[in-house]
Chain A
Amino acid sequence: MTWTLFVAFLTRAIKAATVFIFGSTGETITEKSGHLNMGTPGIMCMGALGGILGLRIYFDIIKTAELNGFLVILIPIVFSMIFAAIGGLIFAFFTVTLKCNHNVTGLTLTTFGVGLSCYFIGLIKTTRINDAGLAIQSLFDVKWADTDFFGNVLLSHSFFTYLAIIIAVLAAIFLSRTKIGLNLRACGENPAAADAAGINVDRYRYIATIIGAAISGLGGMAYELDVLKGYFNAKDGVDAFGWLALSLVIFSMWKPSICIGASFVFGALQQIRFYLPLSSAQQQMFMLLPYVFTIIVLILTSVFNKKNTQPPAALGVTYFREDR
């Protein structure tokens, strides 16, 4: 691999990592509250749908006029967050209010969300959306030369990458350093105790699920507009990223700070096949590695059984106050 290719590879890996950081940071927040949202692939698809739909509406309004760089970034973010939050709201309503089983609801939401978004993404006209993709690319791009390692790898990305890292860092601080974050973790570890301490478990879980879903949804949007540069297609396989984001949460042991680095590993594994002279079997092998790594991490954490690397104790358990 030449130096130029290597730099290009690292750049692409970070781009792919953006999707993972969004997806798994959102899911971490949700899981810390005790909700195993297996609807994440569906929610990410809905986020992707929202982002594209928002841009479509924007372009239908401005027609052939020059696009506004600020709006082109803001509109997809807002729309995808709203769409994904609706998915999260459905999940929260079913699991918190209706007290349904998390796995069952999540799997259903995935079927539903993936079907819905694939269907509607297939209907949306692609005209000019790739313009937006290119604009998003170039707006924050400050690279100086193609071989410049520093400029390329660290500064040539779109706004979404920086936003993802900021959100992950904020989430890490929020979960480990603030009082609300502590309350949230209490809901995930022992909801009955949290309830006794005066924490409104249901409200925390609702908000955590919705905000988590909104952040995850940004991942789907970032994939369509940033990684694919707006050349979207109904069968892009955003849901595959969703499942990987779910495994990434385990891989990073429920810590958004680790998640940033781990996302990069996953992104690199996902992209390396385009940059190495591999046979197709070897390429597929690299697709398999993230899951194997996740399993290994899952096994190791359970074998060593350290307190701070465990899943939230009440993960996937519906809380009903009168159930003692």
Chain B
Amino acid sequence: MEKQEKKRFKLPFHIVKRLDMPKKQYWIIKGIGFLVAFLLAGILCNILSPGSFGSFYQNMAYGVYNPRDPKEIFDFIETAGLLILVAFALAPAFKMKFWNIGAEGQISIACLVTAGITYFMADGKNDALVIFLCLFASILAGIIWAVIPAIFKAFFNTNETLFTLMMNYVATALISVCIALWITNGSQSFPFLNYGGLPKIFGIKYLFSIIIIVVVVALMIVYLKKTKHGYELSVVGASVNTARYVGINVKKVIIRTMVLSGALSGLVGFLLVAGHHHSLTATLADGRGFTGVLIAWLGQFQPGQMIMYGFLVAFFQRGSTKAASYAAISKTEFSAIVTGMFFLIVIATEFFVSYHFLIEEDSKLKVFVENVKTKYNNFMYGSNEVNVFRENIIKSKNYVKSNAIYMDQNDFNNYLDVLVIIKAPSDEEVNKDIINERKKEYALTKNESLKAQIKELELSLKWKKYINKKTVATKKSLVKIYKKEVARNGGSK
């Protein structure tokens, strides 16, 4: 007996990695993602609170700029700035493929240190000293929290993702312990810190924080892009072995980078307490560490993109909170849902950027796609038969008034020998002629297939009006290219 081979289900396409993608296409895909997220957020809001769709987007915009309180725009910038700073803290570690998701803990521990020092030392007279001490101590705390996993990663190859994740919760729990230890009056909550906060500039609350963030981010851009350290990171990330052969001390790079990472996260913690909350709770970091991970990864560790995503996420977070409060939905949850949805959609677009589908040659899908393609072509440009017919008509009616422009061969590197732009009759004219001819034929032969063709042509005539605009544009751009080439070659034709 022959063994029968099992019929296996086979996908009619397979997925191939894209080598590079034109920038324009990249941003179109991303833009579609943003828009879809934006639309879905509105629809979701309408489902949860019927009738709120109309004002949803206006309320979203109030998250950025509120005409009733123009100073709120600084709140928005500060929210975005803190997220961006976290992303910049994480980017160097991610660049060397050190999955540090411990920013949350590093921020928390810095918050704890800042709040502690301010609580015990600030008395209204020594603000400057307290602020400097807090800054120093919080950065140090962030560094310690980041370096512990880094050391174990460097020497024992301990899984850094899990280690840093655990460190987050140790830090959060430590805050609870310290609050319970320090606050002995039974209120269980940390008091508002009246002294030792960052001063206001021009009466604007967060301007000081914003200035610090801008300076630090600028320095980080230089560090990542222009220094040897930044380059070493990429090498370690690409291949640890290569880095070793080149003579990079991998252990040193790991620890050094995590020191930097922890220092920046510590700074975020300092800004959160001294510049924003002036108090302490276990959830002060509020997921910023995790959101920073997402921003850094989606921004592909590129400074410009990370900044853009920071602002986008801040917009979604603040906007959805505002919109939810106007629509009487519970704010924090709705904001979490909308932000989560935004991230999921943007992550999904990442796939279309880095992979594309290749259809199998012998599959039904291929036949289907080919069918659709020919139908589309027939619809847009007329079927083969119609085209021949059309050319004949053009010839017979002497439509072609040659207005051709010839180009020098050298200009186009033997690539495009001659560029001809024909001033052809408008498609409308020709198609009308074709239709008339067909109608005459139909009147004679009563052929049913001809009738269908006439219908098709009439339909396409309608659509051609839209397409015509596009063809005109391309002709114009061809002329432009030609003129540029001529100018470059000193007017030779």
Does B420 sit at the interface, judged by CB under 8 A?
no
Does B436 sit at the interface, judged by CB under 8 A?
no
Instruction: Indicate which residue in A103, A279, A287, A295 contacts B161 across the interface (CB closer than 8 Å).
Output: A103
Q: Do the beta carbons of B340 and A108 come within 8 Å of each other?
A: yes
Does B57 sit at the interface, judged by CB under 8 A?
no
Among the stretches B151-159, B226-234, B257-265, B367-375, the one at the interface with A is: B151-159
- For window 266-325 of B, CB contacts with A under 8 Å fall at 287, 290-291, 293-294, 297-298
Does A33 sit at the interface, judged by CB under 8 A?
no
- A299: B residues at CB distance < 8 A: 152, 156, 158, 163
Q: A288-B173, A291-B169 are in contact. List 8 more A-B contacts (CB 8 A).
A: A98-B347, A100-B350, A101-B347, A285-B177, A287-B173, A295-B167, A303-B156, A322-B16
Instruction: Indicate which residue in B17, B48, B156, B167 contacts A323 across the interface (CB closer than 8 Å).
Output: B17
Q: Do the beta carbons of B162 and A250 come within 8 Å of each other?
A: yes
- A316: B residues at CB distance < 8 A: 99, 161
Q: Do the beta carbons of B330 and A122 come within 8 Å of each other?
A: yes
Q: Do the beta carbons of B166 and A115 come within 8 Å of each other?
A: no
In the assembled complex, the CB of B203 is this many whole angstroms from the nearest CB of chain A, namely 35
Q: Do the beta carbons of B166 and A109 come within 8 Å of each other?
A: no
Q: Do the beta carbons of B161 and A322 come within 8 Å of each other?
A: no
Does A258 sit at the interface, judged by CB under 8 A?
no
Q: Do the beta carbons of B348 and A111 come within 8 Å of each other?
A: no
> A98-B348, A322-B16 are contacts. A291–B166 as well, Cβ < 8 Å?
yes
Does B351 sit at the interface, judged by CB under 8 A?
yes
Chain B residue nearest to A285 in the complex (CB): B177
- For window 228-251 of B, CB contacts with A under 8 Å fall at none
In the assembled complex, the CB of B192 is this many whole angstroms from the nearest CB of chain A, namely 20
What are 16 A-B contacts with C-beta separation under 8 Å? A98-B348, A98-B351, A99-B355, A101-B297, A107-B101, A107-B290, A115-B335, A119-B337, A122-B333, A280-B180, A287-B176, A291-B170, A292-B170, A295-B170, A320-B17, A323-B17
Q: Do the beta carbons of A284 and B355 come within 8 Å of each other?
A: no
Interface size class of A (residues with CB under 8 A): 35 or more
Does A183 sit at the interface, judged by CB under 8 A?
no
Q: Do the beta carbons of B159 and A311 come within 8 Å of each other?
A: yes
Q: Do the beta carbons of A94 and B176 come within 8 Å of each other?
A: no
> A98-B351, A99-B351, A108-B347 are contacts. A284–B180 as well, Cβ < 8 Å?
yes
Residue interface mask A70-102, B partner, CB < 8 A = 1? 000000000000000000001000100011110
* A111 vs B344: C-alpha distance when bound (angstroms): 10
Q: Do the beta carbons of A298 and B293 come within 8 Å of each other?
A: no
In the assembled complex, the CB of B176 is this many whole angstroms from the nearest CB of chain A, namely 4
- B162: A residues at CB distance < 8 A: 246-247, 250, 298, 311
- For window 106-156 of B, CB contacts with A under 8 Å fall at 152, 156
Q: Is the interface of B mostly helix, strand, loop or mixed?
A: helix
B163, B188, B337 — most chain A CB neighbours (10 Å) = B337
Does B165 sit at the interface, judged by CB under 8 A?
yes
* A234 vs B334: C-alpha distance when bound (angstroms): 13
> A103-B161, A104-B294 are contacts. A116–B156 as well, Cβ < 8 Å?
no
Chain A residue nearest to B335 in the complex (CB): A115
A binding-site residues for B, Cβ under 8 Å: 36, 38, 90, 94, 98-101, 103-105, 107-116, 118-119, 122, 234, 243, 246-247, 250, 279-281, 283-285, 287-288, 291-292, 294-295, 298-299, 302-303, 305, 311, 315-316, 320, 322-323
In the assembled complex, the CB of B481 is this many whole angstroms from the nearest CB of chain A, namely 38
In the assembled complex, the CB of B416 is this many whole angstroms from the nearest CB of chain A, namely 35
Chain B residue nearest to A90 in the complex (CB): B344
Instruction: Indicate which residue in A114, A234, A281 contacts B336 across the interface (CB closer than 8 Å).
Output: A114
- A104: B residues at CB distance < 8 A: 293-294, 297-298, 343, 347
- B169: A residues at CB distance < 8 A: 243, 247, 288, 291
- A247: B residues at CB distance < 8 A: 162, 165-166, 169
Q: Do the beta carbons of B99 and A103 come within 8 Å of each other?
A: yes
Instruction: Indicate which residue in A108, A113, A298, A305 contacts B294 across the interface (CB closer than 8 Å).
Output: A108
> A291-B173, A298-B162 are contacts. A108–B343 as well, Cβ < 8 Å?
yes
In the assembled complex, the CB of A118 is this many whole angstroms from the nearest CB of chain B, namely 5
Q: Do the beta carbons of B344 and A281 come within 8 Å of each other?
A: no
Q: Do the beta carbons of B336 and A112 come within 8 Å of each other?
A: yes
- A291: B residues at CB distance < 8 A: 166, 169-170, 173
* A322 vs B48: C-alpha distance when bound (angstroms): 44
* A315 vs B160: C-alpha distance when bound (angstroms): 12
> A119-B337, A291-B170, A302-B159 are contacts. A103–B348 as well, Cβ < 8 Å?
no
Chain B residue nearest to A293 in the complex (CB): B166
Does B216 sit at the interface, judged by CB under 8 A?
no
In the assembled complex, the CB of A289 is this many whole angstroms from the nearest CB of chain B, namely 9
